[in-house]
Amino acid sequence: MPIFNLMDFQKSERLFSSKLFRYLSRILVLYVFSTIFKSFDLSFQELHVFNMRGHLFSLFYVLFGLLVWEGAIWVSRKTERAVERKHSTARLWYICGVLLLYGLCAALLFGFLYGLLDVLVFNRYEAWESFKAFSYDLNFGTFLFYLLILTFNGVVFYYKGWKEYQLQTERLMRENIQAKYDALRNQIDPHFFFNSLSVLTNIVYKSPDLAADYITQLAKTYRYILDKKFENLVPIQTELDFLDSYLFLIRIRHQHSIQFISEIMEKVKHKGMIPPATLQLLVENAIKHNRFSVNDPLIITVRSDEHSLTVTNHIRPKLHPDHSWGIGLENIHKRYELASGQGILVSQEGALFIVKIPIIFQS
């Protein structure tokens, strides 16, 4: 049922946005306005008597109204481009002011042409005298033009804003899907997988027990990636369990030249949430872009407060840096934006590289 509702909505949206529907609706609105206008024009004796003059007036009103309508759209677009850098409220007031001036000019032109038409076609000089005196009829006509133009352009302005919001939401959803695939690709890249197999080959004969543990932790690492790839958030404790398996593989490969220190409050571990593989990506970034050895290990620390986790490591740039710098951080930042509307904070204080990530609490 929801699928059919969605299809019906999409068909309706296409219909309402079509040019044919747009122009037919404008003609209908203008014709109704012409009828209302005639009811205030005392030269039309009866509202329901549609003589030649009444039909000609309606035709003139509709054609003139269509031109004014298109002109209002053109003026609105030009004005919006001219003030696009201003605040949205100031931009709206500016556009309304320009359209008020445009509406006044259009109403005066309408009164002039209306009187001229009556003189040339029906020899009614009363209409021309009424135009020169700026009569009540013309004032009311001016008001109707204001109402028509400002209402239409107000609807266009807010509808455009709504459509832009819809497009932005759709773009963020596409980026979310892409970020998930990127996360799957970047969390454990092919080089890490092949390096892990290479390490396993070296230890399988030397230490069968260690090789068994290594296989177990490698399986846990990939199981986590497959299980969590479509989840937006995971408990911090779950992420730390995954990180233990990942760090086990890293320490075996790099001969314990990587040290990880966790100082996270217990209540944060179990109640706090983060996007999956966030900590793993930060550890991977630190390993990719810094030098380390057994005698001078790379120390990565994660600490918590009530609202965030802070991951730090000393900066020791490699002689040949990895060109993928920033991919993991951008991945994390996008997923945080999608999950909570927040971002991450990346900074450098002296020789320390610092990444601060928000903790998300869900009821």
179 domain residue, yes or no: no
109 in the same domain as 31 = yes
- Residue 314 token pair: 């000393």
**Domain's final residue, options 174, 205, 220:** 174
149 domain residue, yes or no: yes
pLDDT in 10s for each residue of the chain, 363 residues:
444 444 454 555 565 567 777 778 878 877 887 777 766 666 665 544 467 777 777 788 788 888 887 887 788 778 877 777 766 677 777 777 787 777 777 777 777 777 777 777 777 666 556 555 445 555 556 556 656 666 666 666 666 667 777 788 778 777 776 666 455 445 555 566 777 788 888 888 888 888 899 899 989 988 888 888 777 889 999 999 999 999 999 888 888 899 999 999 998 998 999 988 889 889 988 988 898 988 889 999 999 998 999 999 999 888 776 655 566 788 788 888 777 778 889 999 989 999 999 999 876
214 in the same domain as 147 = no
- Residue 299: the pLDDT is 93
**Domain's final residue, options 174, 197, 221:** 174
- Residue 62 token pair: 């509709």
For 163-211, the DSSP string reads HHHHHHHHHHHHHHHHHHHHHHHHHS-HHHHHHHHHHHHHHHHH-HHHH
- Residue 142: the pLDDT is 54
- What is the rounded distance in angstroms from the CA atom of residue 260 to the CA atom of residue 313? 10
**C-alpha neighbours within 13 Å on the C-beta side of residue 41:** 23
For 2-29, the DSSP string reads HHHHHHHHHHHHHHHTSHHHHHHHHHHH
182 domain residue, yes or no: no
User: What range defines the domain where residue 127 resides?
Assistant: 2-174
Three-state secondary-structure class, residue 111 = helix
280 in the same domain as 168 = no
130 in the same domain as 225 = no
Asked whether the beta carbons of 348 and 312 are under 8 A apart, the reply is no
For 69-104, the DSSP string reads HHHHHHHHHHHHHHTTTS-HHHHHHHHHHHHHHHHH
Q: Quick check: pTM over 0.75?
A: no
The CATH number of residue 347's host domain is 3.30.565.10
Q: Which residues contact 122 (CB under 8 A, 6 or more apart)?
A: 53
56 domain residue, yes or no: yes
226 in the same domain as 156 = no
214 domain residue, yes or no: yes
- Residue 40: the pLDDT is 61
- What is the rounded distance in angstroms from the CA atom of residue 33 to the CA atom of residue 180? 54
239 in the same domain as 152 = no
Between the alpha carbon of residue 327 and those of residues 281, 293, 322, the distances in Å are: 10, 25, 11
124 in the same domain as 197 = no
Query: Residue 326: which region, alpha, beta or left (left: phi > 0; alpha: psi -120 to 50)?
Result: left
Please tell me the total count of domains within the chain: 2
164 in the same domain as 244 = no
**Domain's final residue, options 147, 174, 201:** 174
Question: How do strand 234-235 and strand 272-274 relate by DSSP bridges?
Answer: antiparallel
- Residue 133: the pLDDT is 45
Q: Which residue has the tokens 């005392």?
A: 42
46 in the same domain as 160 = yes
344 domain residue, yes or no: yes
338 domain residue, yes or no: yes
Three-state secondary-structure class, residue 257 = coil
Residue 181: CB atoms within 10 A of its CB come to 10
199 in the same domain as 151 = no
* Widest CA span in the chain: 113
62 in the same domain as 98 = yes
- What is the rounded distance in angstroms from the CA atom of residue 280 to the CA atom of residue 189? 12
202 in the same domain as 147 = no
Q: What is the amino acid identity at position 76? A: S
Query: Residue 341: which region, alpha, beta or left (left: phi > 0; alpha: psi -120 to 50)?
Result: left
163 domain residue, yes or no: yes
Asked whether the beta carbons of 39 and 61 are under 8 A apart, the reply is no
